[in-house]
Amino acid sequence: MAPAEPNALAFRPKGEPPVFEEERKGWKGYIEWEKYPEKKKQAAEILKKYDFPVRHQPPEFQLQPLPKTNPILTGERWKQYHYAMGPNLEKLPDKSWEYVKRRSPRTLSTCSSSLITVNRRGYVSHKRLVESEITPNKDHFVRNHGGIPEIDPQEYTLDISGLVKNPKRLTLADLQNEDLFPRQTNTVTLQCSGTRRMEQIAVYPGDGDELINAPWAEGAIGNARWTGVSLKKVIKHCGGLVDGADNLEFYGADTYFKKGQAYNYVVSVPWRKVKANEVLLAWEMNGEPLPKIHGFPLRTVVFGYIGARSCKWLYEIKGIKGPSQAPVQKKEYLYYTPQVGKQNAMYSNGFSIQDMPVSSAIMSPTDMDQIVHDGSVKLKGWAYSGGGRWPVRVEVSGDGGSVWYEVSPENMSTKYFHGWRLWEIEMPVDAEGWLEFCVRCWDNALNTQPTFVRSAWNWDLHVTSSCHRVKIYSMNRSRPQTAARLKLLEEKGMSILPITQPLEIDLETDEHYDEAMEAMGGRDPKE
């Protein structure tokens, strides 16, 4: 896909282009919004002049059959927001796309809400994602909300501000100074709350605003070893929180647009979570410097939470009372009941997604696979639970969720408090035809998954935690009739695949048919 042309798709700037200056030397693509209410107001007034495309954007395919090929969601609306904001912002979509292209050739990924390449099965090849317990950096899913800032590490600082006793500005060197802060490495799975969203979309369409952002399948999850310092130590270094502060707000240098306003990416986590040493300020991912697309030079990694709280290109941490009032925290990542939708959704009647629930997926075989086997089929996948709970048991059903088989513990990868476990099982499969395999995980707190997508469908199509299902067409060669048919096709040089291709040969000889009819007493009763 060629990078988008600025002003493509009939975008016309209205009036003299505004200039929003980059905030700091050595920080490309970082516009500071949160410190300047007047600038925010100016941006809102500019955005108000435009009639950005909504109705004809991709979300509408929700009400139509799913596209035959993977749709490219080019994010026209998001690009046009940038084009409207003048020279420093209009280049960001293209620049960001360049970073996406540097990732694994086989890894399709998303670099922002605008540049999403949808693969119905996820952004990385299915089988590849479960090849190793640790996900290689180039294969790790990416979900950004704005363009990718480029920050010179020499010019990098982090402000600790707000309700802390001694606000400080720290350099990267300060944070990496082991005399000040003990270094820490943890294996942590990050997951987009949109993982497996396609399953929800496929049965019931929801809010289009969410769809264009990340219509993921099972691939929006990855497991990495992150190195940095515990945020708790940094807060202690600043004398601790004051005045009843109970949350920490994270500021990302990326620009985030929402309903006609420009913001920086801002989220928060409770102090309680930080105190448990479950929030890392990380500069390394799997022993390498944090890739730019993953937040270089510094990001938070919040263990067991929705990926959205693991703020990238972090430039400020603020002590606050209550959760952040910023839109990503207050107005996004809300989980509704199935009866809430466009007609009645508010921010207060959804609950805020922080801790992630138990979930799992079958990554091999994949949906619609047609398998010739001799009485058993190997399945592979992942299982995860958030909030410090871990997968204890994985069960697979070959009949849609009635009879379950346990994965042997020796066929599950290492246990971590905050990491996924890969699993595999050789499932006995006697039945033929279309079977519905599904998987569920039990975590150490005995949580398990809802059985059907409908059981936990929600308007923004977040957190698809129902049992993951794949349909496979089973052909069991240990059954004589099937063995005979397969042998015949082989002799004739014909393939059983795809199963929907009609057989050109007769299905039975007249002699065999007559014998069978004789044996069953003909089609109709005699009397």
Give, as ranges, the residues between 249 and 278 that touch a second copy (CB under 8 A): 259-260, 270, 272
Q: Which residues, 310 to 329, sit near a second copy by CB under 8 A?
A: 322-323
Shortest gap between Cβ of 56 and a second copy (angstroms)?
10
Q: Which residues, 131 to 190, sit near a second copy by CB under 8 A?
A: none
- 302/383 with CB nearer a second copy: 302
Q: Exactly one of 29, 75, 149, 205 binds a second copy (CB under 8 A); which one?
A: 205
Q: Interface with a second copy includes 64 (CB under 8 A)?
A: yes
Tokens of 329: 């925290």
Interface size with a second copy, residues (CB under 8 A)? 83
Shortest gap between Cβ of 290 and a second copy (angstroms)?
29
* Torsion angle defined by CA atoms of residues 220, 224, 227 and 229, in that order, rounded to the nearest 10 degrees: 50
- 24/258 with CB nearer a second copy: 258
- 167/260 with CB nearer a second copy: 260
Lay out the site mask for a second copy across 487-516 (x = CB under 8 A, - = otherwise). Answer: ---------x-xxxxxxxxxxx---xx--x
Shortest gap between Cβ of 132 and a second copy (angstroms)?
30
Q: Interface with a second copy includes 87 (CB under 8 A)?
A: no
Residue 327: what are its φ and ψ, rounded to 5°?
-60, -35
Cβ atoms within 10 Å of 511's Cβ, excluding its own: 8
- 180/372 with CB nearer a second copy: 372
In whole angstroms, how far apart are CA 60 and each of 83, 88, 192, 249?
A: 24, 32, 23, 35
- 47/290 with CB nearer a second copy: 47
Shortest gap between Cβ of 314 and a second copy (angstroms)?
22
Shortest gap between Cβ of 85 and a second copy (angstroms)?
18
Angle CA(267)–CA(178)–CA(187) in degrees, nearest 5? 55
Enumerate residues 6+ apart whose C-beta is below 8 A from 387. 304, 305, 355, 356
SS3 sequence, 212-241?
A: HHCCCCCCCEEEEEEEEEEHHHHHHHCCCE
Q: Where do the DSSP E strands lie in 346-429?
A: 351-352, 359-364, 369-373, 376-384, 391-397, 404-406, 421-428
Shortest gap between Cβ of 62 and a second copy (angstroms)?
5
Q: Exactly one of 36, 50, 61, 417 binds a second copy (CB under 8 A); which one?
A: 61
Q: Which residues, 91 to 120, sit near a second copy by CB under 8 A?
A: 120
At residue 198, the 3 state secondary structure works out as helix
Shortest gap between Cβ of 352 and a second copy (angstroms)?
5
Lay out the site mask for a second copy across 371-410 (x = CB under 8 A, - = otherwise). Answer: -x---------------------------x----------
Determine contact, residues 439/381, Cβ cutoff 8 Å: yes
Shortest gap between Cβ of 524 and a second copy (angstroms)?
6
- What is the spatial distance between Cα 394 and Cα 381, in angstroms, rounded to a whole number? 10
Q: Which residues, 207 to 226, sit near a second copy by CB under 8 A?
A: 207-209, 211
Q: Which residues, 416 to 475, sit near a second copy by CB under 8 A?
A: 431-434, 436, 454, 457, 459, 471, 473, 475
- What is the spatial distance between Cα 266 and Cα 330, in angstroms, rounded to a whole number? 10
- What is the spatial distance between Cα 470 and Cα 436, in angstroms, rounded to a whole number? 6
Q: Which residue(s) pair with 472 in the sheet?
A: 369, 435
- What is the spatial distance between Cα 526 and Cα 519, in angstroms, rounded to a whole number? 13
- What is the spatial distance between Cα 319 and Cα 293, in angstroms, rounded to a whole number? 27
CB-count burial class (<10 Å; 0-12, 13-18, 19+) for 487: exposed
Lay out the site mask for a second copy across 23-42 (x = CB under 8 A, - = otherwise). Answer: --------------------
Q: Interface with a second copy includes 351 (CB under 8 A)?
A: yes
Q: Exactly one of 176, 185, 411, 482 binds a second copy (CB under 8 A); which one?
A: 482
